[in-house]
Amino acid sequence: MKWNYDFEISALAFEIVLLIFYFAKRHLPTKKDRYFILAMGAGCFATLMDMVSGLADTYWRSIPLELVHAINIFYFLAIATDVLLLFIYILSVTDQLDVVKTPLFLIYCVPYLLMVIMAIATPYTGALYYFDRIEGYMHGPTYLTNYILNTFYLILAIVYVVVYRSHISKLHLYSIISLIVLLAAGSILQSLFFPWVLLTNAFSAFAMCIMYLSLQNPDLYVDKETGLFNRDGYIEYLKELTSSGTEYSFMVICLDNYRSVKTVFGEDKTNRALQEAIGYVRKNYSDDHIFRYSEDTYIVLTPAKYDIEHTMELGRRRLDAGFAIDGEHIRFSVVFIVLPYEMLDNNIKRTQSILDYALKGVASGLKGNIIVDDELISSSKRRNDIEIALEKSIEKKSVQIYFMPIFSPITEKMERVEVLARIFDQKVGFIPPREFISEAEKNGSIISLGRHIFEKTCEFIKEQEPEMYGVGRISVNLSAMQLMQEGMAEEFIGISNKNGVSMDKISFDIAEVIDTDKDGIAESNMKKLTEAGAEFALNGYGSGYSSLENIMKLPISMVKIDRALVISYFEKDSMLLPDVIEMFRNQKLKIVLVGVETKDMARRLSVMGCDYLQGYFYSRTLPARDFVALMKRAGNKY
């Protein structure tokens, strides 16, 4: 029988080039990577042996028969080994490589072992092939066993891919299915339609190309700027460590001033300094263990027993010394995070959560060396739970509004009220405002949260008509972030119009002095809202604000003096309160004193010249139902 080698020659050349390119690049030192290399190598060897055996079978009369048999045995073994290694590689892709260590895998190997036995015995049995004296090489009665073996492992691979599809991405899922279809197509075409054309390994080469480009492309795991492995590479290597049971620890290097250094010195000089810093780290660790997790965060996965404290000290000294770049002295400020092995387990999600918790700690201002312990994990986990609860509450519009009455010392009646947000979560329970407001300001959800609170406030005014009970304005808190959003004023005016609520029933409390409003967006929003009838109050004066000059730049008509300043006056720690009140009265501003807790405080504060009093003496923060009941008793004196 004569065979057509054209496809095999092209396939072998393609596979060799692919191997060369793969080894020319850095690749992760994982078992998945090793099985991919073995599968590629076996594929190349199978293609080579397909051609060599074809030539040997064609010229069998000119070659010792024993050598021809040996070549054919190697060919069948190469094909069987190639498909088995491909199956093991797919196990690694689906995170099921542990199966190799179980008795189940021995069952999976039975067809392979049968094929090995048949191949070795064929020179004596003629099962897979035999040589006719006239026709030469002929297929034996069990020749199709070769294709049945391929089919068995391909079907088994499909089963694992389908069952464990949640362990892989859609891209990987489609890639694996595509390569299995290609291998099946090659086997079917050669075995049933074109037995004289060597097609199987050509289709195997196409499958190898799919594996290379979508599953094992080294470029997917390398950071282009630094040459280190990137975040995806870190995840893959972490899977390797946890699945193998290797004891390891995290050392995370956070350059917490990276962005500011980049702004001051420029991208080019900063990156050159960064390369020097990375070069220093590379002297102490293999490149295989260093990962660029984000722009300013690097992870070193070290042996569990490594002296991390000594390493951190050396690293800090070097980074503190800085780097001389074109006459500029560039210094990176560094925060080290250490995750000891004792805090880790084989649960990748939990390990990743611990790392994210620690990084959030750095983002919130933690400095120095951070050794992750149970306390840090607990507090960080709470922040994470609060963030999730906040997102859920905003999405479902389940944030509740509570009301804090504000009374006039002259009429002794409730004339204003402050709206406060409250969140209740089934998992976390009641979340204090200071926690979820802080989280909302950090992640930017304060904009959606503020909009939602304002919508609920307008709906309440529309339904309950508080002005009928003497409540002239309802105060809503605004953050600087909200005010500096273009179109914020138009959006809020639109919400009030939609509910038929006049803006002269609204007062906006701002807790920060707007000193970063370079584009004048906040000032423009405040002007539009005041023109629509709203008023602005400075909330919490006395809790750390700067100069009066900055305050008076704001278009405010009221100042709420913080509880701390009021309490310190009554505890005789500070006697500034009367002077502060006089100062703002001279500026023609209305004054609210916060923190009134007793009748004596209310009496003494009433004569100081303030306009309104607010505190637990008058009322605690009330849910909507209780507040409505209080409004209906508004004529009662306290």
Confidence of residue 419 (pLDDT cuts 50, 70, 90): very high
Domain map (residue ranges) of the chain: 6-217, 222-372, 391-632
Inform me whether the pLDDT recorded for 3 exceeds 70. Answer: no
Check residue 463 and give its pLDDT. Answer: 93
Inform me whether the pLDDT recorded for 1 exceeds 70. Answer: no
Inform me whether the pLDDT recorded for 544 exceeds 60. Answer: no
Distance CA(138)–CA(122), nearest Å, equals 12
Check residue 193 and give its pLDDT. Answer: 64
Class of the 6-217 domain?
A: mainly alpha
Which among 135-139, 179-183, 582-586 has the top mean pLDDT? 582-586
% of the chain residues with pLDDT over 70:
91
**Average pLDDT of span 119-137:** 89
Which tokens sit at 109? 């190997």
**Average pLDDT of span 566-592:** 88
Inform me whether the pLDDT recorded for 460 exceeds 90. Answer: yes
Is the CB of residue 143 less than 8 Å from the CB of residue 129? Answer: yes
Distance CA(252)–CA(274), nearest Å, equals 16
Render pLDDT for 182-239 as a digit per residue (tens, 0 to 9): 777 777 776 666 666 566 767 777 778 887 888 888 888 898 888 889 998 998 888 8
Distance CA(427)–CA(388), nearest Å, equals 10
Distance CA(62)–CA(58), nearest Å, equals 9
Render pLDDT for 493-515 as a digit per residue (tens, 0 to 9): 999 999 999 999 999 998 765 55
Confidence of residue 638 (pLDDT cuts 50, 70, 90): very low
Check residue 636 and give its pLDDT. Answer: 43
Which tokens sit at 553? 């730049």
**Average pLDDT of span 11-32:** 85
- Identity (one letter) of the amino acid at 162? V
% of the chain residues with pLDDT over 90:
28
Inform me whether the pLDDT recorded for 385 exceeds 70. Answer: yes
- 3-state SS class at 500: coil
Distance CA(96)–CA(163), nearest Å, equals 11
Class of the 391-632 domain?
A: alpha beta
Render pLDDT for 300-347 as a digit per residue (tens, 0 to 9): 887 766 777 777 888 888 888 889 998 889 988 888 888 877 777 667
Confidence of residue 637 (pLDDT cuts 50, 70, 90): very low
Is the CB of residue 606 less than 8 Å from the CB of residue 579? Answer: no
Render pLDDT for 50-109 as a digit per residue (tens, 0 to 9): 888 888 888 888 889 999 999 999 989 998 998 899 899 989 888 888 898 899 999 999
Nearest by Cα to 467 from 619, 634, 616: 634
Question: Which fold is adopted by the domain 222-372?
Answer: Alpha-Beta Plaits (3.30.70)
Is the CB of residue 532 less than 8 Å from the CB of residue 495? Answer: no
Check residue 543 and give its pLDDT. Answer: 63
133-136, long-range: CB within 8 Å, 24+ apart, which pairs? 135/1, 136/1, 136/57, 136/58, 136/60, 136/61
**When comparing pLDDT for 386 and 1, which is higher?**
386
361-366, long-range: CB within 8 Å, 24+ apart, which pairs? 361/337, 362/254, 362/256, 362/335, 362/337, 363/442, 364/442, 366/335
Check residue 194 and give its pLDDT. Answer: 63
Check residue 513 and give its pLDDT. Answer: 55
Alpha helices in 231-347 (DSSP H): 231-244, 258-265, 267-284, 308-321
pTM over 0.85: no
Which tokens sit at 592? 């609210």
- 3-state SS class at 637: coil
* Type and span of the H or E element at 482: helix 480-483
Is the CB of residue 31 less than 8 Å from the CB of residue 92? Answer: yes
**Average pLDDT of span 144-159:** 86
**HEC letters along 165-181:** HHHCCHHHHHHHHHHHH
Distance CA(183)–CA(518), nearest Å, equals 63
Is the CB of residue 459 less than 8 Å from the CB of residue 469? Answer: no
Query: How many C-beta atoms surround the C-beta of residue 321 within 10 A?
Result: 10
Q: Mean pLDDT for the chain? A: 85
Q: Find the Cα–Cα–Cα–Cα dihedral 88, 91, 93, 98, rounded to 10°.
A: -110
